[in-house]
Structure 1
Amino acid sequence: MNFKELAAKYDTPLYVYDFNHFTEQFNKLKKSFKARKSIIAYAVKANSNLSVINHFAKLGSGADCVSIGEVKRALLAGVDKYKIIFSGVGKRDDEIKEALKSDILMLNIESEAELKRIEEIAKQLGKVARISIRVNPNIDPKTHPYISTGLHENKFGVDIETAKKLYLYAKKSEFLNPIGIHFHIGSQLTELEPIKEASQIVADLVRSLKAVNIDIKFFDVGGGLGIRYKDEKLIEPYDYAQAILSTLSGLDVTIICEPGRFLVGNGGWFLTKVLYEKENGDKRFVIVDGAMNDLIRPSLYNAYHKVEVLTDNKEMSKANLVGPVCESGDFFAKNVDLPKTNPGDLVVIHSAGAYGFTMSSNYNTRPRAAEIAVMDEKDRLIRRRETFEDLIACEIDYLKE
């Protein structure tokens, strides 16, 4: 990957994605579940560029969506509607209506109130809503608390006893068809045992449901497989699949897996240029043209991203790598060894394919970066850089003198 050529061609800040890496990761995971019927449903929230979704759709991927906007993106990008799941704890009535009219595979329910609302809307439309229920197995995923989702203290899903009650209710309803069950204990998972433990709890619930003739066809294990940002010990896809499969003996279900970060995280880079250096007393700052509005993970989670300065200079010292945004939290790395830089030197921030551009904003009226796909050594623009006119397009007509 020639980052200097790409930066010269497309300017910075810039996101670059390796579509060959995306393919390899997808095939690796799909192969791990080959012993069973399975759907790999790409978690659109990780990187929602239409060309990225379309790339996975061509590989046979489904889509895990958490807004009606993501559902519409998936459909527009060519994902089979019967491989689309609509999750999320707070679906509006209009979102539910559109999802039901779109005839996607199923809506994933996270509360009793939501179940009743979907039933009422399905009744109004004269449709039967295919649903799954997100079960909260109360398992500690051993991950960052902001991306933990499987504990009772988290806002997601319902407990086992509530789930049983909701499935029994749905079975009796003429407007609900409970075809799936879902759990997801967190993101950036690096330990196998919590996943296996959660899968066992939910598989046992499926067995008890089948005993009362509730025919669960889809066993959705969520996503969350971690990637290496620094020195994390990773779970191999084969071991991940085997841990889940070991809990499903005697169950005829299609496994749904919803990877996001695992597929795209390490296939993406964020490129930014050095503007200048600054010293405050004994503190050194390397100031670049990218900022927290482009890549917020370091500021939001104190997340680590490997930083590489493309220079021949070997003179190293501690520095903070920071952007132009008017916030003390505008940084990519703090107190890291960086070479002496000159204006225009290119900085590559690694592992930026997931939750990078998709979490970016226009804070400080900063246009969002361009996105580039590289496949078989050919690069192409998949999202042009925003302009000031793009930023004001929704406001300018309402400007009053």
Structure 2
Amino acid sequence: MDHFLYRNGSLHAEDVPLSEIAASVGTPFYCYSSATLTRHYRLFKDALDPLPNMVCFAIKSLSNVAVLKLLGDLGAGMDVVSAGEYLRARAAGVPGDRIVFSGVGKTREEMRIALEGGIRQFNIESEPEMRALSEVATALGATAPITIRVNPDVDARTHEKIATGKSENKFGIPIARAREVYAEAARLPGLRIVGIDVHIGSQLVELEPFEQAYKKVAALTETLRADGHTISRLDLGGGLGIPYTRSNEAPPLPVEYGALIKRTLGHLGCEIEIEPGRLISGNSGVLVSKVIYVKNGEGRDFLILDAAMNDLVRPAMYSAHHDIIAVTEPGPAAPTQAFDVVGPVCETGDTFAKARELPLVVEGDLVAFRSAGAYGAVMANEYNSRPLVPEVLVRDDHFAVIRPRPSYDDMIKRDIVPDWL
């Protein structure tokens, strides 16, 4: 469920017409619903209760500080993968003891920033990283709480670019080597083992891969405890998928996911950490764009928008599907036409959809890409010297720009011409 619905013939974000926002900020723009973000976060909390738990929002999916503050004020923790994301979480008012630091390439400088600013735990991905963190923590006179990410060699059955739990993926240590790696961690100064971390991929649409992974984690927990390690937290990552189409097939619900966690891991007495991103943010946002031209081609027709692949890269990068709908509600008998929906960037890859049946639209009409809140604005760039897309947050009947569109001068002035040119 989301809060983008037609009212009086116009698509609204909660109680605000998207056309009103377009008239104020221009197009294209991202728009997020506070009510949807709040609802989706609470679905995960409710699914895990009464187990001790922390729901850590995966900042990589949507990193605007206003959104982080909204979720942080609800009690959410944050899952970060860079110093920049860590500092965004702190800027949003999230305390360090609610921030988990993941990622395969943490630098010593990033470790220092997190240790000095406060951190709930580091999710260690490799032995070299573990040794580096020991050195940094010891030099600071600090103790770094850690989990170690194990790779369970489970096929997440998702897109190959977002699968992370197979043996050939770069993430974590092989679960078969976990005992020796935990033994080394226990010997290193400056580290304190608190649990186990696992994450098998993103956009999972069935529960079986989770169940396979979590059963392996449960067995490993018993083994490591028998070895004398304190395992009080289980970080289960994120990955639960969302419906990108309005078909009858839907991924599992958070309540079903929570029941699986309780069934496979609830007997261990551990605090459960999960790191959802897409399911909280994905359907909480839309990308609104304007039709520049309707072009009749040889055997196909093109809908040319003012949004492009630099604004929403998922279709070009992953062949991802986003539903595209008219902001002005078409009538029940409105005619449709098959369009290739494209942007103005000088790449054939700048294509959002091919032969997509859409209501007849004309130059100047507005369309909205659904399910664009996750991995939309965070992956946007300025290719072709196109300004970054502004972000707007809606609550009830009002909205605020939470990242403005830069001017052309703003972009150009970032470049520095050396004196000798």
User: TM-score, length-normalised on structure 1?
Assistant: 0.97
Matches within 5 A, 1:297-376: 297-311=314-328, 312=330, 314-376=334-396
Matches within 5 A, 1:2-401: 2-230=17-245, 231=247, 232-311=249-328, 312=330, 314-396=334-416, 398=418, 401=421
Structural RMSD (CA): 1.4
What is the letter of the counterpart of residue 372 of structure 2?
A
The farther-off stretch of 375-384 and 65-74 is 375-384
The 2-side partners of 1:375 and 1:174 are apart by: 48
Question: Identity, % of aligned pairs?
Answer: 42
The 1-side partners of 2:225 and 2:307 are apart by: 53
3-state DSSP of counterpart to 2:133:
helix
C-alpha distance after superposition, 1:108-140 (max 9, x if no partner) = 111111111111222222222211111111111
Residue 143 of structure 1 deviates from its aligned partner by: 0.9
Residue 337 of structure 1 deviates from its aligned partner by: 1.1
3-state DSSP of counterpart to 2:214:
helix
The farther-off stretch of 230-239 and 68-77 is 230-239
> Conserved in 1, the CA contact under 8 Å of 2:205 and 2:252?
yes
3-state DSSP of counterpart to 1:247:
helix
Residue 252 of structure 1 deviates from its aligned partner by: 2.0
The 2-side partners of 1:332 and 1:5 are apart by: 25
3-state DSSP of counterpart to 2:268:
coil
What is the letter of the counterpart of residue 319 of structure 2?
N
Residue 180 of structure 1 deviates from its aligned partner by: 2.2
Residue 398 of structure 1 deviates from its aligned partner by: 3.8
The 2-side partners of 1:55 and 1:374 are apart by: 11
Number of paired residues?
Answer: 401
3-state DSSP of counterpart to 2:414:
coil
C-alpha distance after superposition, 1:286-308 (max 9, x if no partner) = 11111000000011111000011
C-alpha distance after superposition, 1:365-394 (max 9, x if no partner) = 110111111112211111111112332343
Structure 2, gaps ≥5 residues long: 1-11
3-state DSSP of counterpart to 1:353:
coil
> Conserved in 1, the CA contact under 8 Å of 2:131 and 2:188?
no
Residue 397 of structure 1 deviates from its aligned partner by: 5.6
The 2-side partners of 1:73 and 1:216 are apart by: 29
The farther-off stretch of 229-238 and 186-195 is 229-238
The 2-side partners of 1:107 and 1:362 are apart by: 32
What is the letter of the counterpart of residue 53 of structure 2?
S
The 1-side partners of 2:174 and 2:73 are apart by: 36
Residue 173 of structure 1 deviates from its aligned partner by: 2.2
The 2-side partners of 1:163 and 1:295 are apart by: 39
Structure 1, gaps ≥5 residues long: none
The 2-side partners of 1:377 and 1:29 are apart by: 26
C-alpha distance after superposition, 1:10-33 (max 9, x if no partner) = 110010001101111111110111
3-state DSSP of counterpart to 1:223:
coil
The 2-side partners of 1:390 and 1:198 are apart by: 47
The 2-side partners of 1:164 and 1:101 are apart by: 30
Residue 332 of structure 1 deviates from its aligned partner by: 1.4
> Conserved in 1, the CA contact under 8 Å of 2:327 and 2:368?
yes
The 2-side partners of 1:296 and 1:250 are apart by: 42
The farther-off stretch of 303-312 and 55-64 is 303-312
C-alpha distance after superposition, 1:345-377 (max 9, x if no partner) = 001110001000000001011101111111122
| CA 305–400 in structure 1, closer or farther in 2 if over 3 Å, else same | farther
Report the equivalent of 2:6: none
C-alpha distance after superposition, 1:15-53 (max 9, x if no partner) = 000110111111111011112110000000000000000
